[in-house]
Amino acid sequence: LSVGVLIVGLAGATANTFVSGALAGSPSERMGGSVLAASGLDPGLFLDESKLTFSGWDVDPRGADEIASAHGILPSAAIKAASESLDAIRALPAYVGGYDTEEARVSEHSRPIEDPQGAIEGVAADIEAFRSEHGLERCIVVLLGPPLRAQPVESGFGDTNSALSSSACYALGALRASCGVIDFTPNVTLEMPEVLEAATAAQMPLAGRDGNTGQSLLKTVLGQMFKIRNLRVRGWYSTNILGNLDGKVLSRPEHRGLKMSDKLGVLEPILGYEDFDHVVDISYYLPRGDDKEAWDNIDFSGWFGTRMTMKVNWLGSDSALAAPLITDLVKHVDHAMRAGLRGHLPHLGLYFKHPLGSPIEPLANSYRTLMDFYTSNDKEQ
């Protein structure tokens, strides 16, 4: 029996890199960037990637091999070797509502959400059909769709529930079909009261939100250093240039609000003060594709108020940074499902810019929380 992973945004750069890596690479190639791989925790606690079966939804119906070649993130030899199994992975038509992107709303490979209850039932039926086709033991849904137009957390069902976003329909459908849910996006889905209630009723875990892959992760490390060393931050200017679809969507003011607040929110809790200039900018720059550049300029003062500056320039593949974290998260959520945990998972704060169920903490602290969770569970067993 294997575990099913259904991804919202299956054709996206991050989802496709995760799926292609799971099917195309060797176990040692997949270890780079994985927190779990370096943790020293017993691998026997977690499921093996070879036990995963993939499906999902997207407005792009192409096979995963064609998409992987178009993204060009993994080596072409690896994609070629797994071409047959990748070609079989094609997205189901996406559920698309009023908060979705322009690209999604004009796509023909979609099911417009006219009646959210119908969409929730449709998602659950898609999952059940996949589960019985492959004889799956458990299923996990991973939200990797685009940052939607900001939906108020409380907007929920209301009288007509006409205001429900596609991501809320996916999450509620997933819970109806007894799946754990991971949200790697900046959307508010897993904070909505209806979703929390459904997770309690279904006794299912929720992990989110907004993957902590690069620049914000760096802030959880450097921020602690400035704090411990008592070097007073006067200003922190962060800019990002990226040329993938995520960058294009984030260049639109109506889609970038939550991502900006997640990026801006990570530093103050670590420094313990707010009276400094914190500027974050995200620019869409097509030539870069998935190879993002994050540039940070930090102005700070020390002994006798002496002024100093630090500059950090991180050039990296956005999706290759994210894929191993998603592999880890699937393993954590599968473990939580087997352990009967439900609702937000506080031990997974390390993985998110805006952790649900735990405070924003320096990396060393959130790593300790993660390790303590598994080592104290071990002791109880």
By C-beta, is 146 or 300 nearer to ligand NAD?
146
Q: Under the criterion CB under 6 A, does residue 165 sit at the interface with ligand NAD?
A: no
Query: Residue 312 and residue 321: Cα distance in Å, rounded?
Result: 17
Assigned token pair, 295: 């540039």
Q: Which of 126, 246, 296, 334 binds ligand NAD (CB under 6 A)?
A: 246
Interaction of residue 321 with ligand NAD, rule CB under 6 A: yes
Q: Residue 249: enclosing H or E segment and its boundaries?
A: helix 245-250
- Nearer Cβ to ligand NAD (20/244): 244
Quote the strand ranges of the chain, DSSP E: 3-8, 52-58, 92-96, 110-112, 138-143, 180-183, 205-208, 232-242, 277-284, 291-301, 307-317, 343-344
Sign of CA dihedral 52, 58, 63, 67: negative
Nearer to ligand NAD, 125 or 201 (CB): 125
**Cβ-contact 212, 353 below 8 angstroms:** yes
Site for ligand NAD in 166-195 (CB under 6 A): 166, 184-186
| Residues ≥6 apart with Cβ < 8 Å to 277 | 234, 235, 236, 237
Q: In degrees, to the nearest 5, what angle opens at C-alpha 229 toward C-alphas 224 and 234?
A: 75
CB of 95 to ligand NAD, least distance (A): 6
Check residue 208 for interaction with ligand NAD (CB under 6 A). Answer: no
What per-residue string of b and e applies to 295-334 under the rule 16 or more CB within 10 Å gives b? bbebbbeeeeeeeeeeeeeeebbbbbbbbbbbbbbbbbbb
Q: Shortest Cβ distance from residue 60 to ligand NAD (Å)?
A: 5
Instruction: Give which of 330, 97, 92, 315 is closest to 211, Cα–Cα.
Output: 330
- Of 79-87, 268-276, 314-322, 330-338, the segment contacting ligand NAD by CB under 6 A is 314-322
Q: Which stretch binds ligand NAD (CB under 6 A): 3-11, 32-40, 132-140, 293-301?
A: 3-11
Binding ligand NAD by CB under 6 A: which of 116, 122, 147, 362? 147
CB 71, min distance to ligand NAD, A? 8
Q: Per-residue x/- mask for ligand NAD, residues 73 to 112, rule CB under 6 A?
A: ---------------------xxx---xx--x--------
* CA–centroid distance for 117 within its chain: 25
**Minimum distance from residue 137 beta carbon to ligand NAD (Å):** 25
Which of helix, strand or coil describes residue 182?
A: strand
| Number of chain residues interacting with ligand NAD (CB under 6 A) | 35
Of 59, 123, 206, 258, the one binding ligand NAD by CB under 6 A: 59
User: Is 142 one of the binding residues for ligand NAD (CB under 6 A)?
Assistant: no
Q: Smallest distance, Å, CB 244 to ligand NAD?
A: 5
From the list 151, 189, 215, 319, which residue makes contact with ligand NAD (rule: CB under 6 A)? 319
Distance CA 273, CA 333 (A): 34
Identify which range of 45-53, 224-232, 244-252, 341-349 contacts ligand NAD by CB under 6 A.
Answer: 244-252
**201 phi, psi to nearest 5 deg:** -65, -40
As a whole number of angstroms, the distance between CA 79 and CA 100 comes to 30
- Under the criterion CB under 6 A, does residue 333 sit at the interface with ligand NAD? no
Q: Does 296 bind ligand NAD (CB under 6 A)?
A: no
**Distance from C-alpha of 178 to C-alpha of 127, rounded to nearest angstrom:** 9
How many other β-carbons are positioned within 10 Å of the β-carbon of residue 212?
Answer: 26
Looking at beta carbons only, is 83 or 167 nearer to ligand NAD? 167
Binding residues for ligand NAD, rule: CB under 6 A, are 8-9, 11-15, 57-60, 94-96, 100-101, 104, 144-147, 166, 184-186, 210-211, 213, 244-246, 318-319, 321-322
